[in-house]
Amino acid sequence: MRIALDTNVYSAMAAGNKTTVYTLQSAQEIFVPIPVLAELRFGFLKSTKRVQHETYLTRFLSAPRVKTLDCDEQTTHFYSQLKFQLDTQGTPIPINDIWIASLVIQHGVSLFSFDSDFDRIPQLLRVR
């Protein structure tokens, strides 16, 4: 299984949530979308444990099974289609979530998230 992490799943894993950790241990590959990294690092800036959080993240990102999902020109096509779909449905979601979903769909992986906003995107593969 190839899994992309949402910010809330990374936070649960870092906090030691056993179910989350078990699911990630069974993953063949783990992907971290660039918007998730941005959200995490923004959160770190507001924390008194910023250095510890950044150290843990750096260690996590250096694991052989972990890769980042970067935006490219092709991502913009997925983004525009998703944003149009959500606007047409009348079910908008936060912009970062659209970028995350776009990257996940573009790369054909499953999103692991506790966020119900992603339920509005039926073509998005999900880990539950």
Rounded Cα distance, 37 and 99, in Å: 12
Residue 124 phi/psi, 5-degree rounding, is -80, 120
In the sheet with 126-127, reading across from the earlier edge strand, the strands are 66-69, 29-33, 2-5, 110-112, 126-127
| Mean predicted confidence (pLDDT) in 22-45 | 97
pLDDT at residue 128 in the model? 78
- CATH architecture for segment(s) 2-127: 3-Layer(aba) Sandwich (3.40)
pLDDT at residue 33 in the model? 98
Residue 6 phi/psi, 5-degree rounding, is -90, 165
pLDDT tens, residue by residue, 63-79:
999 999 999 999 999 99
**115 pLDDT higher than 90:** yes
pLDDT at residue 56 in the model? 96
| Mean predicted confidence (pLDDT) in 2-31 | 96
Average pLDDT, the chain: 97
Which residues have C-beta within 8 Å of that of residue 128, sequence separation ≥ 6? none
**The residue to which tokens 């509005």 are assigned:** 120
